[in-house]
Amino acid sequence: MSQLHPGWPAVLVAGPVTLRPLRRRDAGAWSRSRMANVEWLARWEPTSSQSWQSRNSVTEYHRTLSRLRSAARLGTMLPFAIVYGDRLVGQLNVSNVVRGALRSCSVGYWIDSSVAGRGITPTALALTIDHCLTEARLHRVEVNIRPENHASIRVVEKLGLRQEGYHERFLDIDGGWRDHLSYAITAEEIFTGTTLSRLSALPVPPG
């Protein structure tokens, strides 16, 4: 697999959890999962003029995949499918990748409600943080979360990310400008061993 830029493309694995590039043949599984999880996901999604059915159709998946691949080729994103066993159960995007003096990125993700609570999301995020701060040669990883999203807050706190700030009316989500909490971690915190021990000690989800 030839490298387009540092850290991409990549396949990351821990037990039954795999992060890999999205594929064209993922369209059906991706669309079915999104359609089945409208009540679970819609309130955390960016505002859109399209209906849920339209923006999560197989046709729209292919358009989205084209945009994600273009961004990956430019080095501004690392778009991953989250696979549990052999089933696509979610998506994780490393976006806003900035090089130069900043060397930072932000991470967003979603997971199918049918596998929530199995440790898949913490494992996926831990794999991503480790990859971004090593192979992708970045220095800082940021995750922005709405204060109401208690499940995602538990994930980042479990991994030892710091709460850095509170951003008022930060992103246009689900029809309105929503406040977000900002969490982050840097390479120094990983390699001092304190946070690394927390990442390494996470139980691997059962297969």
Domain assignment of residue 53, yes or no: yes
Domain assignment of residue 5, yes or no: no
Angle between helical axes of 27-36 and 58-74 (0-180°, round to 10): 110
Residue 87 belongs to what domain range?
Answer: 12-200
Strand order in the sheet with 17-21: 12-14, 17-21, 78-84, 87-98, 104-111, 140-145, 176-186, 162-173
The owner of tokens 């990983």 is: 190
Domain assignment of residue 4, yes or no: no
Instruction: Give just the sign of the alpha carbon dihedral 176, 177, 180, 182.
Output: positive
Q: Mind listing the pLDDT tens digit of every residue in the chain (207 residues)?
A: 667 889 999 999 999 999 999 999 999 999 999 999 999 999 999 999 999 999 999 999 999 999 999 999 999 999 999 999 999 999 999 999 999 999 999 999 999 999 999 999 999 999 999 999 999 999 999 999 999 999 999 999 999 999 999 999 999 999 999 999 999 999 998 876 544 444 544 556 766
Q: Can you give the pLDDT at residue 202?
A: 55
Q: Can you give the pLDDT at residue 4?
A: 80
Domains of the chain: total: 1
Spatial separation of the C-alpha atoms in residues 75 and 54, rounded to whole Å: 28
Domain assignment of residue 119, yes or no: yes
Residue 135 CB: number of other CB atoms within 10 A? 14
Domain assignment of residue 6, yes or no: no
Bridge partners, residue 181, by sequence: 145, 166
Domain assignment of residue 128, yes or no: yes
State the CATH number of the domain containing residue 56: 3.40.630.30
Domain assignment of residue 2, yes or no: no
Domain assignment of residue 3, yes or no: no
